[in-house]
Amino acid sequence: MRTILLAVVAIASAVGFGQQPAVAYTAPWCAVINMGTGSVYWDCSYGSIEACRPNVLAGNRGWCNPNPYYAYQPVERRRHRKR
């Protein structure tokens, strides 16, 4: 009986505290690399086009493209007071 109770407590703590949803990081720019067989590989890990260009220009026969799955965060505009 004690082992069953201990097993239930261990499972409940593992499920309740240890499991967190996975968060995928997507960057706003992708290096689209031509694999040579008519297929392309999208490497979407670049924060800017300047970071993407060296990978493409290094002989990878590709181009930089905006990530179609990136969700841009809205920019918060400041309100100016009238004097």
Give the model confidence (pLDDT) of 21-73 as tens digits. Answer: 555 567 899 999 888 888 888 999 999 999 999 988 877 678 999 998 887 77
Q: What is the pTM of this model?
A: 0.55
Mean pLDDT of 2-15: 66
Are 61 and 36 a contacting pair, CB within 8 Å? yes
pLDDT score of 10: 64
